[in-house]
Amino acid sequence: NDNSLVYFLTVNVSPNFEGRGISQRMISLSMELIKQRGFKVVEATTGSPVMKHIFEKNGFKKVVEIPFRDYLVNGISPVPKDKLYTAWTKDL
């Protein structure tokens, strides 16, 4: 069992419950569990400004930031081109 890496794939909260700190609490509780289980590194990616703030608040370091205008699927940008896609990492 290789407990070296955890990757946050997505964190979603219903629009009806946004702004209540739920995403922050989910990440915080997840980080506690991840540490207890002996994982060494946590990685995440996001295009959400809210999640960028939450990852920074939880001690994640920015690895790379890529403009979505450079992200194409079959030659088409699937998201607004003014957004940024950011990769994050945190050593435990």
- For the segment 73-89, the average pLDDT, to the nearest whole number, is 79
Number of domains in the chain: 1
**CATH classification at residue 36:** 3.40.630.30
pLDDT tens profile 15-73: 999 999 999 999 999 999 999 999 999 999 988 888 999 999 999 999 999 887 777 77
pTM: 0.78
Q: Is the pLDDT of residue 7 over 60?
A: yes
pLDDT of residue 71: 72
Residue ranges making up the domain that contains 87: 5-91
Q: How far apart are CA 2 and CA 80, in angstroms?
A: 38
Higher-pLDDT residue of 8, 3: 8
